[in-house]
Amino acid sequence: MLSAQDLFITFNPGTPIETRALRGMSLEIPAGQFVTVIGSNGAGKSTFLNAISGDLGVDTGRIAIDGLDVTRRPVWERAERVARVFQDPMAGTCEDLTIEENMALAQQRGTRRGLRGAVKQAERAMFRERLATLGLGLENRLTDRIGLLSGGQRQAVSLLMAALQPSRILLLDEHTAALDPRTADFVLQLTARIVAENQLTTMMVTHSMRQALDVGQRTVMLHQGQVVLDVSGEERQRMDVPDLLQMFEKVRGEKLADDALLLG
Amino acid sequence: MSLFSLLGAVEIGLIFSLVALGVYISFRLLRFPDLTVDGSFPLGGAVCAILISTGTNPWLATLAATAAGAVAGLVTGWLNVKLKIMDLLASILMMIALYSINLRVMGGPNVPLINDPTLFTLLQPPGLDDYWARPLILLVVVIAAKLLLDWFFATERGLAIRSTGSNARMARAQGINTGAMVLLGMAISNALVGLAGALFAQTQGGSDISMGIGTIVIGLAAVIVGESILPSRRIVYATLAVIVGAIVYRFFIAAALNSDFIGLKAQDLNLVTALLVTVALVIPQLKRKLASRKA
């Protein structure tokens, strides 16, 4: 369960390049809900996500995850509650480490790291089992460096890693944007499956209106650092991409100039 | 080259393999360009020599030198992590500070250990010449250090340090306090260097303020030579590689300095080292160029 209240973030305040990225952003996500977040470039999607993960500190406002106020806590102290997949496939894994070492890192997310062996025999079998579900043959490559894998393969492993430990919220940051269309589709299907299987509370940022409506149960649109549209249930089921676009224009009272939203 | 100078080369090579292991941890695992070693090596020597010469047990003195090295590494890490000073600059600051600290510790530019007991005189097996005994004792120390590091970097905590160097953002997202891991890694790295300094002082008959000059380049040279002999990213092989690299490097230096026809003298050591490291750094680039021309 996530609760973000009245978040403000301003980059470079008081300078000519001042950017007001979040301007009173508020969002509540109940446990088990899968929310997609959409918006044009500069709408504040990534800033919002980084504020929740702790990569960015907020100027004012309050962030609570499952009732615990984490507003002033660093990333690593939130990790017990927050799982994350990055946009850049290189960012979510350690390329110098093997597949099993990367998975072991994720297996220990939110636990105390002591002097026990990092990769345990029993866990190795479980890793192999999980990797086999991807159908990519990675279950036989546990001791390969993860840097040898393709972007799509690394993103798929990142998703598995995010689900190894329980989390109160899973953050997906345009995690299919850097992949080719076929691989992106595969990773999206995998996302839907893993989220459903583990009943994960999820927030997925995306550039694509199509994706935003196809997966999850609720769609939120951001503009200028605020929520401008929030649809779910039947209303959302009846919607198609042109409707979404129209609603956006109506809400903002202006023509949308960003083709990226349409083309994505 | 005589047997005597060969064993001498192995002896110094083994001592510097401890430096190389430390440099491997900072430069390769943490990706922290750490020049502290030019100060923590003589710091280890200074602490050890002054303690032994004032009557402390050599074991205790060596342990204290190792701890002093760890503290030096901690301070460099702290300058970087907490005070946000650029890594390279933080280590240079610490290196310069240690020059004064080392003079203070020794109370002068050097502390001789002539008739004092050392680890090596204590462990000297009867009937074995000391120029055989010293490399053998060092070999045991180096193997123990290697096995300890291999074990540690395969633990949960060790893996956390490796992930911090490889991808700090990802490490934090997995709940790792990366700042603390940098401090821990730097402490371990410089503890090894401090230990090497202590052993160096005990084999060379004392500690000297100038014994640290170029330590980092020798350590890096050993790492680079080792990696080109035995290229592997697996810790078990990588630690072996840097040890082999340190000994091979020292062997080449001894050969160069002992060949009368080249005309090199002991004072040319740092120049030869710099040249060797330059060559070792350029060779991979040339290899790549040649490979791309073929393709």
Could you report the per-residue pLDDT of A127-138, keeping only the tens digit for each? 999 999 999 999
Q: Quick one: average pLDDT of B189-207?
A: 97
Q: Which residues of chain A are within 8 Å of residue B175 when distances are taken between CB atoms?
A: 76-77, 79-80, 108-111
Task: Write down the pLDDT at residue B241.
Answer: 96
Task: Write down the pLDDT at residue A253.
Answer: 62
Would you place residue A264 in the very low, low, confident or very high pLDDT band (cuts 50, 70, 90)?
A: very low
Q: Quick one: average pLDDT of A224-252?
A: 86
Count Cα atoms within 13 angstroms, Cβ side, for B280: 20
Question: Pick from B23, B24, B54, B96: which is nearest to B207 by CA?
Answer: B54
Task: Write down the pLDDT at residue A252.
Answer: 64
Q: Please tell me the distance in Å from A77's CA to the nearest CA on chain B.
A: 6
Q: Which residues of chain A are within 8 Å of residue B152 when distances are taken between CB atoms?
A: 115
Task: Write down the pLDDT at residue B112.
Answer: 96
Q: Which residues of chain B are within 8 Å of residue A91 when distances are taken between CB atoms?
A: 167, 169-170
Q: Quick one: average pLDDT of B27-42?
A: 96
Cβ distance of A117 and B166 shorter than 8 Å:
no
Could you tell me the residue ranges of all domains in chain B? 3-209
Instruction: Report if residue A78 sits inside a domain.
Output: yes
Question: Pick from B156, B222, B172, B168: which is nearest to B193 by CA?
Answer: B222
Instruction: Report if residue A239 sits inside a domain.
Output: yes
Burial of B170 (0-12, 13-18, 19+ CB in 10 A): buried
Identify residues of A whose CB sits under 8 angstroms from chain B CBs.
Answer: 53, 55, 74-77, 79-80, 82, 84, 86, 91-97, 101, 104-106, 108-111, 113-119, 145
Would you place residue B23 in the very low, low, confident or very high pLDDT band (cuts 50, 70, 90)?
A: very high
More confident residue, B55 or A259: B55
Cβ distance of A95 and B159 shorter than 8 Å:
no
Cβ distance of A113 and B157 shorter than 8 Å:
yes
Could you report the per-residue pLDDT of A2-49, keeping only the tens digit for each? 999 999 999 999 999 999 999 999 999 999 999 999 988 888 999 999
Taking CA–CA distances from A82, the nearest residue in chain B reads B173
What span, in angstroms and rounded, lies between the C-alpha atoms of A68 and B89? 39
Task: Write down the pLDDT at residue B127.
Answer: 86
Instruction: Report if residue A108 sits inside a domain.
Output: no
ipTM: 0.91
Instruction: Report if residue A228 sits inside a domain.
Output: yes
Would you place residue A244 in the very low, low, confident or very high pLDDT band (cuts 50, 70, 90)?
A: confident
What span, in angstroms and rounded, lies between the C-alpha atoms of B239 and A244? 58
Instruction: Report if residue A258 sits inside a domain.
Output: yes
Count Cα atoms within 13 angstroms, Cβ side, for A167: 34
Cβ distance of B172 and A93 shorter than 8 Å:
no
Side chain identity, residue B144: A
More confident residue, B241 or B253: B241
DSSP chain B: --HHHHHHHHHHHHHHHHHHHHHIIIIIIS-----THHHHHHHHHHHHHHHHHTT--HHHHHHHHHHHHHHHHHHHHHHHHTS---HHHHHHHHHHHHHHHHHHHHTSSEEE-SSS--HHHHH--TTS-HHHHHHHHHHHHHHHHHHHHHHHTTBHHHHHHHHHHH-HHHHHHTT--HHHHHHHHHHHHHHHHHHHHHHHHHHTTEEEGGGGTTHHHHHHHHHHHHHHHS---SHHHHHHHHHHHHHHHHHHHHHHHH-TTTT--GGGHHHHHHHHHHHHHHHHHHHHHHHHHH-
Cβ distance of A105 and B160 shorter than 8 Å:
yes
pLDDT at A259 over 60: no
Task: Write down the pLDDT at residue A197.
Answer: 93
Average pLDDT, chain B: 93
Cβ pairs bridging A and B (under 8 Å) = 89
Would you place residue B243 in the very low, low, confident or very high pLDDT band (cuts 50, 70, 90)?
A: very high
CA dihedral B141, B146, B152, B154 (to 10 degrees): -160
Q: Quick one: average pLDDT of B175-185?
A: 98
Q: Where are the alpha helices (DSSP H) in chain A?
A: 45-53, 75-78, 99-107, 121-132, 151-162, 181-198, 209-214, 233-237, 241-252, 260-263
Q: Which residues of chain A are within 8 Å of residue B27 when distances are taken between CB atoms?
A: none
Could you report the per-residue pLDDT of A37-50, keeping only the tens digit for each? 998 888 899 999 99
Start-to-end CA distance of chain B, whole Å, equals 43
Would you place residue A99 in the very low, low, confident or very high pLDDT band (cuts 50, 70, 90)?
A: very high
Q: Is A179 helix (H, G, I), strand (E, B) or coil?
A: coil
What span, in angstroms and rounded, lies between the C-alpha atoms of B9 and B11? 5
Asked if A76 and B175 touch (Cβ cutoff 8 Å), the reply is yes
Structural domain count of chain A: 1
In degrees rounded to 5, what are phi and psi of residue A149? Answer: -85, 160
Q: Which residues of chain B are within 8 Å of residue A168 when distances are taken between CB atoms?
A: none
The overall pTM is greater than 0.90: yes
pLDDT at B5 over 70: yes
CATH code, domain with A201: 3.40.50.300
Cβ distance of B166 and A97 shorter than 8 Å:
yes
Q: Which residues of chain B are within 8 Å of residue A77 when distances are taken between CB atoms?
A: 175
* Residues A129, A131, A136: CA angle, nearest 5 degrees: 130
Would you place residue B174 in the very low, low, confident or very high pLDDT band (cuts 50, 70, 90)?
A: very high
Instruction: Report if residue A138 sits inside a domain.
Output: no
Percent of chain B with pLDDT over 70: 98
Q: Please tell me the distance in Å from A183's CA to the nearest CA on chain B.
A: 22
Cβ distance of B155 and A116 shorter than 8 Å:
yes
Average pLDDT, chain A: 91
pLDDT at B195 over 90: yes
Q: Which domain holds residue A217?
A: 2-95+167-262
Instruction: Report if residue A118 sits inside a domain.
Output: no
Instruction: Report if residue A229 sits inside a domain.
Output: yes
- Residue A84: which of B152, B162, B173 has the nearest Cβ? B173
Could you report the per-residue pLDDT of A192-221, keeping only the tens digit for each? 999 999 999 999 999 888 899 999 999 999
pLDDT at A251 over 70: no
Q: Which residues of chain A are within 8 Å of residue B159 when distances are taken between CB atoms?
A: 97, 101, 104-105, 113, 118
Task: Write down the pLDDT at residue A261.
Answer: 55
